[in-house]
Amino acid sequence: MEIMRLVVTGPVGAGKSTFIRSVSEIEVVDTDRRATDDTLLLKKRTTVAFDFGRLQFGPDMALHLYGTPGQSRFDFMWDILIQKAHAYILLVAAHRPHEFREARRILTFMKQRSPVPMIIGLTHTDCPGAWDAANIALALGYPHPARRPPVVAINANETASVAQAVIALVQYTWAGSLTPTT
């Protein structure tokens, strides 16, 4: 079985679990539990270990999607997930500027741990107060438009939108650092 593993990461509430549910063909292995720490203030339920979704598109080909955990006591899973990933997508809620620094923190961690390609997915771009892609990219530490990863707008509730984002990630990965076998 040939498998490509994509990690879906981002601050709590950015839409990671929804993203995976929207595209997975199986019932997402839902490790959402009642949050027990500060996360409770933000979400009543959050991903404690990781979300897992799968998309099998051939007898021996499958895409696996992993969502990073939201609670700090499962931080160790981040390292495990990113080490196994072919690529990742960072989800950022465009209307919550107070989360941009957390997203930047996550990005720094990911970049240090793995050189795999990534894209930025913006959720809630239609909400009042949403920042535009160029300014969010700046806030995430990408001052040069030519040297930043693709930034795509996503409605995590819509399969088509999520599929489009995964296509963007795969195509960027394909064109970039990942060296496919022949």
154 within 8 A of 165, measured Cβ to Cβ: yes
Residues 137-166 that bind another protein (CB under 8 A): 138-139, 141, 143, 159-160, 163-164, 166
Is 81 a binding residue for another protein by CB under 8 A? The answer is yes
Task: Give me the sign of the Cα torsion angle 140, 153, 70, 55.
Answer: negative
Is 100 a binding residue for another protein by CB under 8 A? The answer is yes
Q: What are the DSSP E strand ranges found in 35-135?
A: 45-47, 51-58, 61-67, 87-93, 118-123
Give the tokens for residue 170.
């795969």
Task: Give the number of other Cβ atoms within 10 Å of residue 181's Cβ.
Answer: 4
Q: How far apart are CA 169 and CA 166, in angstroms?
A: 5
Among 79, 126, 127, 157, contact with another protein (rule: CB under 8 A): 79
Span from 13-21, 38-46, 52-60, 118-126 in contact with another protein (CB under 8 A): 52-60
Q: How far apart are CA 64 and CA 30, in angstroms?
A: 14
Q: Identify which of residues 19 and 78 has a Cβ nearer to another protein in the complex.
A: 78
Residues near another protein (CB under 8 A) are: 1-5, 23, 31, 48-50, 55, 57-58, 61, 63-64, 66, 73-81, 83-86, 96-98, 100-101, 104-106, 108-109, 112, 116, 129, 131-132, 134-135, 138-139, 141, 143, 159-160, 163-164, 166-167, 170-171, 173-174, 178-182
